[in-house]
Structure 1
Amino acid sequence: MKMKRIAWIAGLALIGVSCKKQLEILPSDSIVEETAMTTVPFLEKGMVGVYININGSYDAEIYATSLYSDEANLPTENNTGRGVIAHRWQTDPGVGEVTAAWGRYAFGVDRANRVIAAADKLTGLSAADAATRDRIKAEALAIRAFCEFQVLINYAENLQSGSLGVPYVTESKIQKPARLTVGEVFAKVNQDLTTAAGLMPASFTDNTRFTAKAISALQARVALYQKDWGTAITAATAAINAVPLATSAQYPGIWTDQTEAEVIWKHKRTSGQGRLGDSYYDRTSSKIMYGVSFKLLNTFAANDIRLASTVLDRGGSRYSVAKYIGGTPSEPGRADVKVFRTAEMYLIRAEAYAENNQVALGAADLNALRKQRIAGYVDEVFASKESLINAVILERFKELAFEGQRMNDLRRKLLPVTRLPQDAINASAKTTLSPTDKEYYYPIPGTEILANENMIQNPTYRQ
C-alpha cells in the first residue's frame, strides 16, 4: 500500500450546495489536500471528497466476491472475456478483479488521514464549529477503520491473531509500510471506532455518511470476524434498536431506492456516476455478463419476497441480478449501494447468540427476519447451535446476495466454494474451490509487491 501524495486539481472553490446535496457534487468540487482544510467549511468539503473517493471501493469488492463465489455464473452470451479469469479461479497477483479493492481502499484511507490531520489542527473554534469538527473527524476515523477492515478480511489468508494481516496506515505521506499481524489490525480498527463513537453526535443521521448507527453496524461486523460474540451482540443490538428491520411491504423498495427502511449506510449514486448494475448486465448489447447462479436461485422458495428483488428472469433460463437495476427506468443499472442493512445485524446477532450457546435467542432473531421475508412463514426450532449456525450461513447467502459478503463468509468458516455443474459450464467445469487450494485466497496485488519492498506476499502465492 504505497501511499503517495498526489497533485490534485488547482483552483478548488467552495460550492454553494446544501449539506443534503453535498454527496451529489463532482470529485473536482471537493477538497482533499490537508493544507487546504484550514476552516471547518473546508474540512467539510474535504470529508465529502473522502466519500466520493470510496464510492466505488465497495463496488469492486461486491463484484469480486460474486465472480469468485457461488453467487454468479458465466453465461455463454458473455463473449467479452470480462472477469473470466477470476471467475474460473485462475488467479494470480495481476488479476484486476480480485486486486482492485486493495488500491481503492488505500486511496480512501489516505484521504481520511488528511481529514483527520487537518481536523486536529483546527483549534480555538466556537462550540458549534468544534462540534462539527469532531463529527467530521469521527466520520474520517470510521471510514479509515472500515477501509482497513475490509482490506484485512479480503486479503489476509486467515484471521488468527498472530497471522499476517495488512498495513494500517495512519498518516498521509510517502511510506512503504509492512504488514501487521491480524490481531494488531483488529486492535487499531477497534480503537478508531471507539474514538469515532465518542465524537459522533446521535443527532447526525444522514445514511449516506457514517453516523453513530453505522459505527455500531461496523463494530458488529468487525466483532463477528473477530469472534468476539459479546461485542457482536451488543453492537448489533444498538444498530437494530436504532434502525428497525424493513417489513415485507417495505423490502422491495430498498432496491429501487424508494425507501430508506433498514438502510444504515449506503453509497449514494446520482446521475452520471458509476452503475454497479452494468457489471452484471450490458445495456448496450442486452447481454447478461454474469447471471444469478442456479445454486442461489434454488435456495429461494416461491413465497420468498427476496426472489423478485434478487433475480430478474429474462426468459430462456436467463437470470440476471436484480438488486442493482435501480428504480429509474431512464437509467437502468443505477442504484444506491447498501453497505450496512439491519438484516445483516439480525444475522450477526443470531450467529453470535448461537456461538454463545444462546440458541433460543439466536433462533428468535433468524425467525424474526424470515417472517418479514417469507409469506406465511412458521417459526423453525433448532435442536443445536450447529444447526442454527448452518441455517444462518444459508440465510446470509440469500439475504446478502450480491452485497459483498459471500466469499468472506465461506473463508471465515473455512467452507469450500461449491458450484452446481450447470453453473460451471463456462468456468472450466471446475465445481469446487477448497480452503487447501491456493486460489481460495486473494493475492496481494503484484504492483504492491513491486512498489514496496516491505510488503510480503500471501504464503500460498509464494509457493
Structure 2
Amino acid sequence: MKINKIKYLALLMLMMSLTSCEKFFDLKPGDSTPDEDIIENERDAQNILNGFYSGLKSSAMYGRYLTILGDLMTDASLAASGFSNQMGEMYSWRYNPGSADVSLVWGAHYSTLYNCNFLINNLHNIEGDSANINRMMGEALTGRALLHHNLVRLYGEAYQPGMSESALGVPYVTWNDVREPSRNTVVEVYDYLIEDIEEAIELLPDEEENQSTSLTKSFAYGLRARIALDMQDYETAAEYASKVIDNSLYSLTSGASFTNMWKEDEGNEIIFRVGYTISDPGAAVGYNFFNRESFDQYPSPDYIPADSWIDSYESDRDIRKETYITYSQTRYGWAGNLVYKYPTATGYVQQGMNMPKPMRLAEMYLIRAEANAYLGNADDARDDLQELIETRISGYTIDNELDGNNLISFIENERKRELMFEGFNWFDLKRKGKGFSRIPQENTTLANDLVVNADNHRWIWPIPTVEMNGNSNMEQNPGY
C-alpha cells in the first residue's frame, strides 16, 4: 500500500509538470490505487495540496505565462532587436489552436485542477483535526476557483451583465474520473466561481499572521472582489476589497521597502506569492527581460518596456519607475530601458528568478477605487487613490476635481503604472472592450506596429487542437 501511494503521488506531480499529448481530461490511470487508500490522513491531504501549489510554479502558470505573457501581448512592451522569438506567436497575435503556448496553459490548468478536486472529493474520508481539514478544503476550493477564473478569462468571452446565456466559457471541472466534458457557459462558470469562493470563505480560518505563500481567507476575499469587478457588480467588489484592506496584517509599502518587495519578495503588501525556493528549478518569471546565462554578461532581452508606459509615470519621484525600470547596455550592441520588476532574489542562479505575486494589497485599493468611481462615490475613490499613490510618490496630492469619466480613466492608467507585468493589463483591456496600438520605437523589431481592435477574435484564445481532437463534446471558438 505504501509503495502504491508513493507511486500515485509521484504520478500526480508528473501530471502537473507535463502537458499530455492525450486529451487533457483523461488524467487518471485505470489501474490506479483507489482514492480512499491514497488519502488516509491529514499528511496525505497536505501532500496533495502541496502538489497544487507546486503546479502554480510551472512556466505555463504563474512561473511565466500568467504573470507576464498577457502584458507582453499588449502595447506595454515591444520585441527587442535580437528577439529570440520566445512567445512570439502570442506577442504578434498569430496564435491558433495548434500553438504550443495556448495548449500549455490549458493543460497546466486542468492537470493542476486534479489536485484541487481530489481533495474536495475525498477529504470527507479522513478523520483528524476538523479545523485543519476545513482549512485544506477551503484552500482547495479557492484554488479551483482561481484556476477556472484564469481559464474562462482566456478561453471565453468577457463577462458582461445581460450577456447571452449561450456564450461559451470553459468546462468547470469538479471530478477526477475520465470524461469528455462540454463547455459551460460564461454565466455558469461565474456562478460556480462564486459558489466555490463563498464556501471556501466559510471554511478558511482568519489569519493570525501573514501567510502569503498560501491561499488564505484574505486571498479568497480578494478573488471574490476581482470576480465581482469582472461582473461589474461594483458594490460587491468594493465590499470584498474592503475586507482585505481592513485586515491589519497587510499594509502598503513605500520607499526602500517597496523596492525590497520586488528584490527579495518580502513585505506585508503581498497577499499571495508563489513560493519558489532556492532549490526549485522552476521557470524564471523575469527571464525574457534579461535572457542571459550569467550575471557578468550584458542582457539579451526578448522584450523591452514601451516608451509610452515609461512616460505614463508623471513624476520621476515615483518609486515604481525606478523600481520597475533600469537602463542597461545589452549584448545586441545598444543600451536602453529594461523591465526590472523581477531583478533576481538573493541566492538564485538564474536571472529573473523572483516569486510571482498574483495578489497584492495595491490591487484591492484599485478595485475599490474603480468600483466607487462607477458607483458615483468619487470622494471615496479619490481617498483610496490618495492613500495608494502617496506611498509611491512622497508628498503626492490628488486633484480633488477629478470625477466621472476622467476619474475612471485615471484609475485605468494607475492600474497600468502599478500592476504592469503582473498579468493584469491584457485582462483589463478585454473586460473594458478596448483594443490597442503598438508604437514602433528604437531598438525594437517584430510586430511593433501592430493594431489590435476590440473586436479581434483572438481576444478569446482558441481551444487547443489536442483537446478538440480528443474530446468529441468540445466546441471551438469562432474564427479559428
Taking structure 2 as the reference length, what is the TM-score of the superposition? 0.85
The 2-side partners of 1:33 and 1:390 are apart by: 55
Q: C-alpha displacement at 1:249, in angstroms? A: 4.0
The 2-side partners of 1:200 and 1:216 are apart by: 11
Distance 1:173-1:365 versus aligned 2 partners, 3 A rule: same
The 1-side partners of 2:303 and 2:437 are apart by: 17
The 2-side partners of 1:158 and 1:201 are apart by: 32
The 1-side partners of 2:76 and 2:203 are apart by: 39
Q: Given that residues 157 and 458 in structure 1 are in contact (C-alpha distance below 8 angstroms), is that contact kept between their aligned partners in structure 2?
A: no
Q: Secondary structure at the match of 2:358?
A: strand
Q: C-alpha displacement at 1:317, in angstroms? A: 4.2
Q: Secondary structure at the match of 1:427?
A: coil
| Pairing partner for 2:340 from 312, 322, 342 | 322
Structure 2 match to 1:131: 131
Whether 1:280 and 2:289 are equivalent positions in the alignment is yes
Q: Given residue 361 of structure 2, which amino acid in structure 1 is its aligned partner?
A: T
Q: C-alpha displacement at 1:168, in angstroms? A: 0.4
The 2-side partners of 1:434 and 1:289 are apart by: 24
Structure 2 match to 1:260: 267
Structure 2 match to 1:450: 469
The runs of at least 4 consecutive aligned structure 1 residues that moved more than 6 Å come to none
Q: C-alpha displacement at 1:51, in angstroms? A: 0.7
Structure 2 match to 1:270: 277
Which structure is higher in RCO with an 8 Å CA cutoff and minimum separation 6?
2
Q: C-alpha displacement at 1:98, in angstroms? A: 4.1
List alignment gaps of at least 5 residues for structure 1: 1-6, 14-25
Structure 2 match to 1:18: none
> 1:264-289, CA deviations, whole angstroms, 9 ceiling, x for partnerless residues?
01101112332112233212273111
| Pairing partner for 2:7 from 7, 10, 14 | 10
Q: Given that residues 382 and 388 in structure 1 are in contact (C-alpha distance below 8 angstroms), is that contact kept between their aligned partners in structure 2?
A: no
Q: Given that residues 85 and 302 in structure 2 are in contact (C-alpha distance below 8 angstroms), is that contact kept between their aligned partners in structure 1?
A: no
Q: Given that residues 369 and 384 in structure 2 are in contact (C-alpha distance below 8 angstroms), is that contact kept between their aligned partners in structure 1?
A: yes
Corresponding residue pairs, total: 437
Q: Given that residues 47 and 112 in structure 1 are in contact (C-alpha distance below 8 angstroms), is that contact kept between their aligned partners in structure 2?
A: yes
Q: Note the aligned Cα RMSD (angstroms).
A: 2.5
| Pairing partner for 1:250 from 253, 257, 264 | 257
Q: C-alpha displacement at 1:334, in angstroms? A: 1.4
The 1-side partners of 2:158 and 2:189 are apart by: 13
The 2-side partners of 1:37 and 1:348 are apart by: 39
| Pairing partner for 1:298 from 287, 311, 324 | 311
Q: C-alpha displacement at 1:133, in angstroms? A: 0.8
Structure 1 match to 2:41: 39
Greater mean alpha carbon deviation, residues 137-146 or residues 420-429? 420-429
Q: C-alpha displacement at 1:64, in angstroms? A: 2.0
Q: C-alpha displacement at 1:105, in angstroms? A: 1.3
Distance 1:195-1:136 versus aligned 2 partners, 3 A rule: same
Q: Given that residues 236 and 348 in structure 1 are in contact (C-alpha distance below 8 angstroms), is that contact kept between their aligned partners in structure 2?
A: yes
Q: C-alpha displacement at 1:260, in angstroms? A: 2.0
Greater mean alpha carbon deviation, residues 136-145 or residues 259-268? 259-268
The 2-side partners of 1:47 and 1:330 are apart by: 25
Q: Given that residues 342 and 354 in structure 2 are in contact (C-alpha distance below 8 angstroms), is that contact kept between their aligned partners in structure 1?
A: yes
Distance 1:94-1:258 versus aligned 2 partners, 3 A rule: closer
Q: C-alpha displacement at 1:256, in angstroms? A: 1.3
Structure 2 match to 1:101: 105
Identity %: 28
Q: Given residue 48 of structure 1, which amino acid in structure 2 is its aligned partner?
A: N
Aligned ranges for residues 46-445 of structure 1 at < 5 Å? Answer: 46-56=48-58, 57-58=61-62, 59-78=64-83, 80-123=84-127, 125=128, 129-160=129-160, 161=163, 162=165, 163-203=167-207, 205-242=210-247, 243-257=250-264, 259-271=266-278, 272-274=280-282, 275-284=284-293, 286-300=299-313, 301-315=315-329, 316-328=334-346, 331=349, 332-422=351-441, 425-445=444-464
Distance 1:99-1:344 versus aligned 2 partners, 3 A rule: farther
Q: C-alpha displacement at 1:135, in angstroms? A: 0.5
Q: Given that residues 99 and 442 in structure 1 are in contact (C-alpha distance below 8 angstroms), is that contact kept between their aligned partners in structure 2?
A: no
Q: Given that residues 79 and 448 in structure 2 are in contact (C-alpha distance below 8 angstroms), is that contact kept between their aligned partners in structure 1?
A: no
Q: Given that residues 64 and 97 in structure 1 are in contact (C-alpha distance below 8 angstroms), is that contact kept between their aligned partners in structure 2?
A: no
Distance 1:423-1:340 versus aligned 2 partners, 3 A rule: farther
Q: C-alpha displacement at 1:376, in angstroms? A: 2.8
Taking structure 1 as the reference length, what is the TM-score of the superposition? 0.88
The 1-side partners of 2:90 and 2:180 are apart by: 28
Q: Given residue 77 of structure 1, which amino acid in structure 2 is its aligned partner?
A: G
Distance 1:12-1:151 versus aligned 2 partners, 3 A rule: closer
Distance 1:312-1:177 versus aligned 2 partners, 3 A rule: same
> 1:388-425, CA deviations, whole angstroms, 9 ceiling, x for partnerless residues?
11111111111001000010100111111222222795
Q: Given that residues 434 and 440 in structure 1 are in contact (C-alpha distance below 8 angstroms), is that contact kept between their aligned partners in structure 2?
A: no
Q: Given residue 471 of structure 2, which amino acid in structure 1 is its aligned partner?
A: N
List alignment gaps of at least 5 residues for structure 2: 11-15, 18-32
Q: C-alpha displacement at 1:251, in angstroms? A: 0.9
